[in-house]
Structure 1
Amino acid sequence: MALLPYPDPELLSPENRQIVDAMPLNLVRMLARLGPAFPAFFGLVKSINEIGGLSAQQRELIALRTSHKIGARYVWEQHVNIARQLGIMETEIDAIRKPATEPLGLFVEALLEPTSDPAPHLQSLKKMEGDQAVHEAILVTGIYFFLSRYSDVLQVDMDEGFLDDLQRRLSRS
């Protein structure tokens, strides 16, 4: 059970209510408690799909690596399901539990480790994927660090039927 109550949908602003109604996940519901900051934050999260420096699969691997390093069950479970929907193999998902060996994973791990210098890994990622991928990797890691800590600290409840809902949403796109 979450440590703080989810907001009463009737008390949300119309803009926040619209977002929660469109994506009624427990984490989204809890984030609606951010009041006027919620639509801007949600817009930022949605915008990472439009930047273009990383593929959807690479962004999912960042979400998984970040949530695994933080130990955030909610984000991990949700993004394992999304990763599978995007065609990421079980071996790739399982590999997240081990130290990274590829440039993107090494860079993300360095970003998450306060005593690590990400510069060498930044150069490797830049060489392989380009400048835009480096900027996007930093942003995506930061977003999923926040979402992982937020969901973990507040003990956001797991969503029932998430995979079925995700499949319906993806089939509409």
Structure 2
Amino acid sequence: MPDPLHPDRWPPEIADMAGGYAGRLNVYRMIAHHPALLRAMDTLREHVVNRTALGAERSEVAILRGAHRLGSSYEWDQHILRARARGLSDARIASIRGPLEEMGDEDRLIVRAVDELFDDRMLSADTLAALDPVLGAEGILDLIATVGYYSVLGYTLKSFAVPQDEDIAAALASRPLGDAEG
């Protein structure tokens, strides 16, 4: 089983990606074993991370629930930090892995949609009708794309037992979820 590929060993066709996010994060360093796949994923990643119609907070809610549903501690931990940076409180983050009744209305709606995608592999007519006035068509499509993209990452992480990035582990060790500052 391969380990995450250190950027110094990346092939020339993806060497330009080594200095950015892909070279810093173990999940992408693992995918670097397949340069064409890493390059192809770059465009979708840019969209779902930085250009999504969901907006920063909704995106994190969807990603965190997907990480929870996949049992991907790597993604969960990564996104605790990103969710905090995007304004989510620790209590709100923690609620995302709990029952729907413990969430605010909008989080509940997004989490219900993520759960449907995992359970039914589609959004129900009722969920689509509830999402439409909140997210619109582009937001709904971005929600589906986000869940799909992060599922691919989660499958990769779990299949290859990719270790957590040291900086993320250190940050969470110094301020675990639920810390009084959260």
Whether 2:139 is the aligned partner of 1:141: answer no
Aligned partner of 1:97 in structure 2 is 97
Aligned partner of 1:19 in structure 2 is 17
| SS state at 1:113 partner | helix
Whether 2:106 is the aligned partner of 1:108: answer no
Q: 2:68 is aligned with what amino acid?
A: H
Structure 2 Cα separation of the partners of residues 49 and 149 of structure 1: 18
Q: Cα distance, 1:17 vs. partner?
A: 2.4
Q: 1:12 is aligned with what amino acid?
A: W
**Number of residues paired by the alignment?**
163
Contact 2:113–2:123 (8 Å) recurs in 1 = no
Instruction: Work out the percentage of aligned pairs sharing the same amino acid.
Output: 25
Q: Cα distance, 1:84 vs. partner?
A: 0.7
Contact 1:110–1:118 (8 Å) recurs in 2 = yes
Q: 2:4 is aligned with what amino acid?
A: Y
Q: Cα distance, 1:30 vs. partner?
A: 0.6
Q: 1:66 is aligned with what amino acid?
A: G
Q: 2:119 is aligned with what amino acid?
A: E
Q: 1:142 is aligned with what amino acid?
A: G
Contact 1:103–1:125 (8 Å) recurs in 2 = yes
Q: C-alpha deviations, 1:36-71, integer Å up to 9, x for none?
A: 121120221112245442111111111100000110
Structure 2 Cα separation of the partners of residues 74 and 59 of structure 1: 17
Q: 1:45 is aligned with what amino acid?
A: R
Q: Cα distance, 1:128 vs. partner?
A: 2.1
Q: 1:4 is aligned with what amino acid?
A: P
The structure-2 alpha-carbon separation of the partners of 1:21 and 1:61, relative to structure 1 and needing over 3 Å to count, comes to same
The structure-2 alpha-carbon separation of the partners of 1:13 and 1:116, relative to structure 1 and needing over 3 Å to count, comes to closer
Aligned partner of 1:132 in structure 2 is 138
- TM-score (normalised: structure 1): 0.83
Structure 1 Cα separation of the partners of residues 153 and 125 of structure 2: 25
Structure 1 Cα separation of the partners of residues 125 and 2 of structure 2: 39
Aligned partner of 1:84 in structure 2 is 84
Q: Cα distance, 1:115 vs. partner?
A: 7.2
Contact 1:73–1:152 (8 Å) recurs in 2 = no
Q: C-alpha deviations, 1:111-146, integer Å up to 9, x for none?
A: 111377533212111122211111110000111111
Query: Relative to structure 2, which stretch is displaced further, 79-88 or 11-20?
Result: 11-20
